[in-house]
Amino acid sequence: MQVSAQAPYWRLSSFYFFYFASLGALIPYWSLYLKSLGYNAQSIGVLMAIIPATKIFAPYLWGWVADHTRHPITIIRLVNLLAVLVFTGVFVNSEFLWLAMVLFMFSFFWNSSLPLFEAMTLNHLGDDQHKYSIVRLWGSLGFIVMVVLLGEYYDIASIDRAPMVIVVLLAGILLASLIVPERLSAQHEDQVPILQVIRQPVVMAFLLVCFLMLVSHGPYYTFYSIYLENHGYSRGMIGLLWAIGVMAEVIVFLMMHRLLLTIDMRKLLLVSFVLTALRWLLIGVFVDNLSVLFFAQLFHAFSFGVFHAVSIALVHRFFIGRHQGRGQALYASLSFGAGGAVGSLLSGLLWDRIDPAWLFAIAALVASFAFLVVWRFMHFTIHRHT
């Protein structure tokens, strides 16, 4: 399926490819790198939590700047340049406080570019906004390529090469941003203040479930690789399991333009939370059964793919005009930021204190609570595109 001829499809896609390739190098393997440095579970949990924690405020801050300057691509390029420069600090020292400071500053810049780019991508797509997933799937492919290749690579090479791999991919993001043209949203002179938008019950419920979804991902994003390694899986197999989940996500992205045209978004969210809860239970209980782990990873199609595509669409409908940059930033801040940070911190605190199966069961309960919030409070009629 083709997107609008006016949209720079390959230039937009290249940004997503490198951004999520860097995520594929960072999230599955950074905890293993930290473990190789001798850090315990609590320290790993704190250091991993720093990365999403800056999403709580950084994207909204830079979103405000972009919305008011009306030059989002300039801000995107700036923060990506600073992210590359700051991350090189990991080569200077591996002490806890130094790493914490470097990760804080790096993620402050790195986390800010994606929400701005999401808003600009939708502006480029125009009337084809429901085809966002066709562009975004290249990010998933970038993640798959990197997580599989690095899984095999780290089986034969030292994990201490992880920082250099990440620096190269961060440079790729910067280069991709340089070839993407500016595209601003249409002005809406009569739009209401952004706080009035946020105070709508359906918007508050939506932001709450976004937070809860990423809290439930805490054990997965922070300790899934370590969990598998502790049960005897090779790094190549760990990379493959991560990749299976994202492959399922790609398939969903190829279908989402049809799903968004035919199925109510509320129903899609409800199904996503049910399957997310089931996914965490399967991983926690059947970690020694490879077939079940492969099956559980297929649910990533819903716990991330469907959930994220619906969320991006809803944010673009709730936050219009000059609010778009901050709307996408707010979604990133409360979900991948606050939710991811809380999930990582709680996982780090509990990992050595309770059986990991129970931690994944807690994650399933959090996803189930989010299901109830959607069921009770998210009643809206946004299910067709014109």
The tens digit of pLDDT for each residue in 11-24 reads: 999 999 999 999 99
Q: Are 383 and 263 in contact (CB under 8 A)?
A: yes
**Domain count for the chain:** 1
Q: Is residue 345 part of a domain?
A: yes
Domain that holds residue 65: 10-377
Query: For position 383, what pLDDT does the model report?
Result: 40
CATH of the domain at 110: 1.20.1250.20
Cut 0.85: pTM above it:
no
Is 120 contained in some domain?
Answer: yes
User: Which segments of the chain have a pLDDT < 50?
Assistant: 1, 5, 382-386
Write a three-state SS string for the chain.
CCCCCCCCHHHHHHHHHHHHHHHHHHHHHHHHHHHHCCCCHHHHHHHHHHHHHHHHCHHHHHHHHHHHHCCHHHHHHHHHHHHHHHHHHHHCCCCHHHHHHHHHHHHHHHHHHHHHHHHHHHHHHHHHHHHHHHHHHHHHHHHHHHHHHHHHHHHHCCHHHHHHHHHHHHHHHHHHHHCCCCCCCCCCCCCCCHHHHHCCHHHHHHHHHHHHHHHHCHHHHHHHHHHHHHCCCCHHHHHHHHHHHHHHHHHHHHHHHHHHHHCCHHHHHHHHHHHHHHHHHHHHHCCCCHHHHHHHHHCHHHHHHHHHHHHHHHHHHHCCHHHHHHHHHHHHHHHHHHHHHHHHHHHHHHCCCCCHHHHHHHHHHHHHHHHHHHHHHCCCCCCCCC
Residues 6+ apart with CB under 8 A from 100: 46, 47, 50
Say what the pLDDT of residue 191 is: 64
What token pair was written down for 362? 């807690």
In a domain, 318, yes or no: yes
- Residue 385 located in a structural domain: no
Q: What is the 3-state secondary structure (H, E, C) of 241-310?
A: HHHHHHHHHHHHHHHHHHHHHHCCHHHHHHHHHHHHHHHHHHHHHCCCCHHHHHHHHHCHHHHHHHHHHH
In a domain, 144, yes or no: yes
pLDDT, tens digit, 9 for 90 and up, residues 259-309: 877 888 899 999 999 999 999 999 999 999 999 999 999 999 999 999 988
Q: Is the backbone of residue 182 left (phi > 0), alpha (psi -120 to 50) or beta?
A: beta
In this prediction, residue 187 carries a pLDDT of: 55
pLDDT of residue 329: 79
Looking at residue 196, what is its pLDDT? Answer: 87
Question: Does residue 80 lie within any of the structural domains?
Answer: yes
Per-residue model confidence (pLDDT) at position 384: 41
Rounded-to-integer distance, Cα 310 and Cα 318, Å: 12
Q: Does residue 2 sit within a domain?
A: no
1 found inside a domain: no
